């Protein structure tokens, strides 16, 4: 008499060790072999952001041509999450236009806040490997740092004060203005 297949334990179904380690490998791969990590001498905008909690620092330089991100490079140091995230970000947004890049930043932020729907969005590409980081609140800032730099470089930063060099028509101003006239 042949025994039927043993039903898998519930715990085994709920965890996906192979997927998780694949994602970890992808994160480490970007960390060890970062994309677009160099100086961009003919950049048109740039931003520098840091995360004191973790010691992460990222500088992003972008060459915008008619709202197209013709080229993007970064330099930085810090934890594997922050450095892998910015590497993945530069690889994806290069060649896209400003609005697409901002939209991607929104989607990624949604995913990091736990949205399953955003996590299923294929436009996020390799960045989906960082979904697991959303379970570790202190590391979310690390994962978002690269996009923070991109937003600031594109004049989309809604939290910091006036970022100076570039104001773009159509940019939304979300922050409250103090006695502005």
**CA 23 to each of CA 70, 71, 130, 164: distance values in angstroms, whole numbers, following the listed order:** 28, 26, 7, 37
CB of 48 vs Zn ion, minimal distance in Å? 16
| Cβ closest to Zn ion, residue 26 vs residue 54 | 54
Answer yes or no: are the C-beta atoms of 33 and 27 closer than 8 Å. Answer: no
The torsion angle over the Cα atoms of residues 146, 141, 116 and 68, rounded to 10 degrees, is -20
| Cβ closest to Zn ion, residue 79 vs residue 91 | 79
| Cβ closest to Zn ion, residue 82 vs residue 90 | 82
Name the region of 55 (left: φ>0; alpha: ψ -120 to 50; beta: rest). left
CB of 132 vs Zn ion, minimal distance in Å? 15
CB of 97 vs Zn ion, minimal distance in Å? 29
CB of 139 vs Zn ion, minimal distance in Å? 6
| Cβ closest to Zn ion, residue 82 vs residue 87 | 82
CB of 54 vs Zn ion, minimal distance in Å? 3
What are the residues binding Zn ion (CB under 5 A)?
54, 56, 79, 82, 142
**CA 178 to each of CA 153, 156, 158, 173, 175: distance values in angstroms, whole numbers, following the listed order:** 23, 18, 14, 13, 9
| Cβ closest to Zn ion, residue 69 vs residue 127 | 127
Answer yes or no: are the C-beta atoms of 150 and 159 closer than 8 Å. Answer: no
Comparing CA positions, the residue from 89, 110, 85 lying closest to residue 100 is 89
Q: What's the CA gap between 100 and 154, in Å, rounded?
A: 12
């Amino acid at each position: 008499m042949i025994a039927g297949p043993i039903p898998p334990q519930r715990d085994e179904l709920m965890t996906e060790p192979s997927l998780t380690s694949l994602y970890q490998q992808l994160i480490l791969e970007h960390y060890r072999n970062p994309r677009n990590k160099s100086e961009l001498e003919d950049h048109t905008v740039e931003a520098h952001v840091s995360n004191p909690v973790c010691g992460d620092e990222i500088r992003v330089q972008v060459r915008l041509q008619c709202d197209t991100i013709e080229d993007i490079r970064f330099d930085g140091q810090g934890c594997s999450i922050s450095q892998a995230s910015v590497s993945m970000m530069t690889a994806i947004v290069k060649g896209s236009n400003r609005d697409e890049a901002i939209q991607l930043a929104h989607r990624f932020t949604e995913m990091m806040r736990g949205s399953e729907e955003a996590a299923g969005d294929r436009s996020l590409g390799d960045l989906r490997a960082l979904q697991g980081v959303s379970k570790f609140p202190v590391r979310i800032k690390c994962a978002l740092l690269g996009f923070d730099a991109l937003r600031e470089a594109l004049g989309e930063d809604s939290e910091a004060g006036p970022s100076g060099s570039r104001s773009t028509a159509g940019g939304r101003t979300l922050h409250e203005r103090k006695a502005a006239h």
